[in-house]
């Protein structure tokens, strides 16, 4: 029985030692907080772009005289692209751009995809 206890203790000690060595070899060179901050930046950019797209779309839908259901809205890093398959007037295009520019977080607006009559 003594031999079994000694063997078990030795095996446990070796396992813990090997686990520590393996763990030490797999650590990253960057601090965990730095890695987390980078991931948070990516997540907040995606959330901001999603929020901007939703806000632009809802504002265009509620504006009278704008075919909001026909205007496609895409946002990438704060730059909003407006496009449509249905022709819009120059006045509607200008109004859509003005509405989009007023939204918090919008850095630029591209309305090249809006077909003018």
pLDDT 10s digits, 28-50: 555 565 555 566 666 666 669 99
- How would you list the strands of the sheet with 71-76, edge to edge? 71-76, 79-84, 108-113
Q: How many domains does the chain have?
A: 1
pLDDT higher than threshold 80 for residue 6: no
pLDDT higher than threshold 70 for residue 115: yes
DSSP 13: H
Give the structural domain span for 61: 2-113
**pLDDT (average), residues 90-99:** 95
- Burial of 55: CB neighbours in 10 Å, binned 0-12, 13-18, 19+: buried
**pLDDT score at 117:** 76
Q: How far apart (Å, rounded) are the C-alpha atoms in residues 18 and 76?
A: 47
């Amino acid at each position: 029985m003594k031999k079994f206890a000694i063997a078990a203790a030795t095996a446990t000690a070796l396992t813990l030692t090997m686990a520590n060595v393996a763990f030490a070899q797999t650590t990253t060179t960057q601090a965990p907080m730095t890695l987390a901050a980078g991931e948070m930046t990516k997540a907040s950019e995606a959330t901001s772009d999603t929020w901007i797209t939703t806000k632009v779309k809802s504002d265009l839908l509620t504006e009278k005289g704008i075919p909001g259901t026909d205007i496609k809205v895409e946002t990438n890093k704060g730059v909003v692209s407006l496009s449509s398959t249905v022709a819009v007037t120059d006045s509607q295009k200008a109004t859509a751009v003005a509405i989009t520019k007023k939204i918090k977080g919008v850095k630029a607006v591209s309305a090249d995809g809006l077909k003018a009559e």
